[in-house]
Structure 1
Amino acid sequence: MNFRVFFVCSFFVFIILNHGFSMAQMVPAVYVFGDSLVDVGNNNYLPLSIAKANHRHYGVDFVNQKPTGRFSNGKNAADFIGEKLGLATSPPYLSLISKGNKNENNVSFMNGVSFASAGAGIFDGTDQRYRQSLPLGKQVEYYSNVYEDLTREMGESALQKHLSKSIFVVVIGSNDLIGYFESSEVRKKNTPQEYVDSMLFSLKLQLQRLYANGGRKFEIAGVGVVGCCPAFRLKNQTECVVETNYWSVQYNKGLQSMLKEWQAENEGIIYSYFDTYAAMSDLIQNPTVHGFTDVKSACCGLGELNARAPCLPVSKLCPTRQNHVFWDQYHPTEATSQIFVDRIFSGPSIYTSPINMRQLVAPEVS
C-alpha cells in the first residue's frame, strides 16, 4: 500500500477510535426535546393522541412521499439540524422502546434520540385538547431512563464525555402560549405575565434536570410569531393577533434572561439561543427575498386562509409548497424550516446569541 494512503487511512481510524465518531460528524449525538415543530414520529406510538401527522398530505415532499409523523410537507427542523451536524435524524424514542431489543436500543440511544411530541408544552396538561402527548416533564423523564441505561452500559466517565460533546435541542413553549390565549379559564386564573413567568420557571427546572444528567451543550429556540399563524389570523380578519405576538416577545425576552442566569449558576453550560420570532418576522415582512409569495394562508387545510380546519385527508393542498411560509394552521413548510436551521447553524447574531450552533459544536468550546 502507498505510504500516503496508509497514513491517511490510519489517521481516520485513529480519529474514530479515540473520538467515537467520524470526522463527517460534528458531534456524537443529538438529543431532541420539544413539540410538533421537531416531532419525527413519537405521536404515532401514542394510541389516544389525535395529533398525528399520519395521512397522505403529510410527507408529500418527503422520501417516497410517505407520512412519517412530521407536521410538515417534508423535513422539519430536527432533520435539517441532523444534516448540518453530519448525523442521521435522531429517531423517535417510542419507536425504539417498542422494538424491545435493549442492546440495540442502547446503541441507538448513544447516537441520539428524539423525545419531541406534537401537542407538548412546558406544562403538563397543555396537550389536553389533543388527548395525549408527551409534555416536557415526561420527555425529560424518558431521557433520565436512557441516561441510567447508558450509565450501566458505558460507565459514568465514558458517558459523561459522550454527553458533554452532544447537542441537546429544546424547542418548546408555543403550545403553552396557544393554550393560554385559547382558554378563558386559564386566563381567569393567571395574568399573561404570571403565566409567562411560570413557563420560564418550569422550563428552567427541566433544563436543570438535563444538566444533572450530563447535558452541557444546548440549542434552545424561542417561540415564533404565534399571532401570525393562519389559525390566529383567521380570528382577526386575516391580520396578526397583536396581543399574542406581544406575549410571545415577552416570553422570549424572559427566556434569554433565564438562560443567562441558568448558565451563571452551573459550571460548563454552553448554549445557543435561536430567536425564532425574529427569523419568522423576517420571512413574513420580506417574503419575496426568500422566495415566498404567501405568508398568511396554510398550504394544507380548508376554508378561509386554508385554516378553518387542520390538514386532513380531504384538505385542499396548495400546488407549490415552496411558496408558502406555513404548511398548516400552525406549522412551517419544509422550505421555512430549512431557512430557520441555516440561521440556527450559521447565525448571524440578530438570530442567534450568544453564539450560533456552528460555534456551539466547535472543539474550542468543549
Structure 2
Amino acid sequence: MVNRGCSLLFIIIYAFIFCFGFSKPQMVPAVYVFGDSLVDVGNNNFLPLSIAKANHPHYGIDFPTHKPTGRFSNGKNAADFIGEKLGLATSPPYLSLVSKANKNNASFMGGVSFASAGAGIFDGTDEIYRQSVPLTKQVDQFSTVHEEMTKEVGAAALQKHLSKSIFVVVIGSNDIFGYFQSSGLRKKNTPQQYVDSMASSLIVQLQRLYDGGGRKFEIVGVGEVGCCPALRLKNKTECVVEANYWAVKYNEGLQSMLKEWQLKNEGIVYSYFDTYAAIHHLVQAPASYGFTEVKAACCGLGELNARAPCLPLSNLCSNRQDHIFWDQFHPTEAASRIFTDEIFDGSSGYTSPINMRQLVTA
C-alpha cells in the first residue's frame, strides 16, 4: 500500500523541480580560466586604460540581464557554457574579486577567471588596445590566489582541491593577429619561428600552473582566424589564407609539445580542442547548425559590418541566431554554445586525446 503522505511529498518535489528547475550536479570543485576576449567575463572592465571593453550596448543584448557585462558577445560566452556543463556558476573575474568593493570578502575556492580581452601568450600583444593582462601576468595572479587559498584551507587540502579542478586555457589568437600587424615582429622572426615560440611559451606557463597544483587542463587551440570579418574585410571578403595557415602550424606544434609535456610530468591529464576544425566545419556547412551568415558580423558598421567595432550606434542584425560572428572577431552566443558542446562531448575529430567530459572523470 502506498503511503499517501510520501506520495504527496513526491508530487510536491516533482512539481517544484518541473517549475523551477535545479542546476546540474557539480562535476568538479572549481574552474580556473586563463585567456583572452573569447572567455573574458569582465576583467577588462576593471582596467582603466584599456579600450578593449565590452561594457556598452549592443554587447549583452541577449544576456539574461539584457545588459553589457564585459563579455564580447551578444550573450553568454564559452566560459559561461563550460560552467553550466560542469554544474558550476561562471568563474568570476579576478579583478572584480580584488576590487575595493570585494577585497575583504573574496573567496577563490569556487573558481576564478583571469582572462583578459587583448591578452596574448606573449607580453605586448595588447599594444593597440593599450591595456590587458597577458598570460604571464594571469599566471602571476593565480600565484597570488594560490597563496590566499593556502592560508584559507592549508596546503594539503588545496592540492586536493586543485587536482580535481579544471584549468581552462583559451589564448593565442591575438599573438597571430599581432604578428601579421607588426612589421617589427616579421623582421625579427620567420612565421615558423614565431608560432614555435608561441607554443613553447605557452608550455612554460602551463608548467607554472602544474607546479601550482593544476592537474586537469582544457587547452583550446587557435581558430580559423583568417576567416573572421575583420580579416575578410582586408581580403575582398575572402579568408586570409596565410593567417589560417600559420594558425594551423601553431596548433600542430602545440599538440606535439603537449604530448611531450604530459610525459615529463606525473599526473597531467589534458583535453585539446581543435577550434580551427570546429569553425571550419561551421563555415563550410552553416545550414546544418541553423546559420545563414558566415562572413559578416552581426554588430558593426560598413562592409561585412566589419569596418568598426560593435558600438552603440552600430548596425545590429535582427536575428543573432543565424550569424556565426557577433562582431569583427568574436562568435555569437549561438556559435559559442556549439563550440562548448564539442569541447565537452566532442569526438576525436575535435578533441584529443579525450574530451572534457572524460577529463572530468579521469
CA deviation map 1:238-263 (0-9, x unaligned): 00011110000000001100110110
Aligned to 1:312: 311
Letter of the 1:92 counterpart = P
Aligned to 2:15: none
Give, in angstroms, the shift of residue 56 of structure 1. 1.3
Tell me: CA distance 1:280–1:234, structure 2 relative to 1, closer, same or farther (3 Å). Answer: same
* Distance (Å, rounded) in 2 between the aligned partners of 1:155 and 1:205: 26
SS in 2 for 1:232: helix
Aligned to 2:174: 175
Aligned to 2:30: 29
Letter of the 1:350 counterpart = G
Letter of the 1:117 counterpart = S
CA deviation map 1:308-346 (0-9, x unaligned): 111111110111000000000000000000000000000
Map 1:254-269 to 2 at 5 A.
Answer: 254-269=253-268
* Structure (1 or 2) with the greater helix fraction: 1
Q: Does 1:81 align with 2:110?
A: no
* Distance (Å, rounded) in 2 between the aligned partners of 1:104 and 1:164: 24
* Distance (Å, rounded) in 1 between the aligned partners of 2:68 and 2:233: 27
* Distance (Å, rounded) in 1 between the aligned partners of 2:304 and 2:243: 19
* Distance (Å, rounded) in 2 between the aligned partners of 1:25 and 1:207: 25
SS in 2 for 1:65: coil
Mapped contact 2:324–2:335 kept (Cα < 8 A): yes
4+ residue runs of structure 1 moved beyond 6 angstroms? none
Aligned to 1:135: 134
Map 1:112-191 to 2 at 5 A.
Answer: 112-191=111-190
* Distance (Å, rounded) in 1 between the aligned partners of 2:334 and 2:24: 28
Aligned to 2:291: 292
Map 1:215-364 to 2 at 5 A.
Answer: 215-362=214-361
Give, in angstroms, the shift of residue 104 of structure 1. 2.6
Tell me: CA distance 1:205–1:114, structure 2 relative to 1, closer, same or farther (3 Å). Answer: same
Give, in angstroms, the shift of residue 100 of structure 1. 5.6
* Distance (Å, rounded) in 1 between the aligned partners of 2:283 and 2:208: 36
Give, in angstroms, the shift of residue 23 of structure 1. 8.0
* Distance (Å, rounded) in 2 between the aligned partners of 1:295 and 1:101: 41
Tell me: CA distance 1:78–1:23, structure 2 relative to 1, closer, same or farther (3 Å). Answer: closer
Aligned to 1:210: 209
Count of paired positions? 342
Q: Does 1:66 align with 2:67?
A: yes
SS in 2 for 1:98: coil
SS in 2 for 1:55: coil
* Distance (Å, rounded) in 1 between the aligned partners of 2:100 and 2:330: 30
SS in 2 for 1:63: coil
* Distance (Å, rounded) in 2 between the aligned partners of 1:324 and 1:223: 20
SS in 1 for 2:99: helix
Segments of structure 2 that go 5 or more residues without pairing to the other structure are 7-22
Letter of the 1:340 counterpart = F
Letter of the 1:333 counterpart = T
Give, in angstroms, the shift of residue 189 of structure 1. 1.2
Aligned to 1:105: 106
* Distance (Å, rounded) in 2 between the aligned partners of 1:23 and 1:33: 24
Mapped contact 2:24–2:84 kept (Cα < 8 A): no
Give, in angstroms, the shift of residue 186 of structure 1. 1.1
CA deviation map 1:250-300 (0-9, x unaligned): 000011001101100100000000000000001000000000000000000
Letter of the 1:126 counterpart = T
* Distance (Å, rounded) in 2 between the aligned partners of 1:56 and 1:245: 31
* Distance (Å, rounded) in 2 between the aligned partners of 1:301 and 1:103: 40
Segments of structure 1 that go 5 or more residues without pairing to the other structure are 6-21
SS in 1 for 2:327: coil
SS in 2 for 1:138: helix
Aligned to 2:14: none
CA deviation map 1:37-91 (0-9, x unaligned): 0000000000000000011100000012100000000000000000000000000
Aligned to 1:51: 52
Letter of the 1:263 counterpart = Q
Give, in angstroms, the shift of residue 103 of structure 1. 5.7
* Distance (Å, rounded) in 1 between the aligned partners of 2:103 and 2:334: 37
Mapped contact 2:73–2:330 kept (Cα < 8 A): yes
Aligned to 2:19: none
Q: What's the TM-score once normalised by structure 1's chain length?
A: 0.92
Give, in angstroms, the shift of residue 200 of structure 1. 1.0
* Distance (Å, rounded) in 1 between the aligned partners of 2:91 and 2:203: 24
Letter of the 1:154 counterpart = V
SS in 1 for 2:251: helix
Q: CA RMSD in A?
A: 1.3
* Distance (Å, rounded) in 2 between the aligned partners of 1:147 and 1:101: 18
Aligned to 2:41: 40
* Distance (Å, rounded) in 1 between the aligned partners of 2:94 and 2:103: 13
Identity %: 77
Letter of the 1:173 counterpart = G
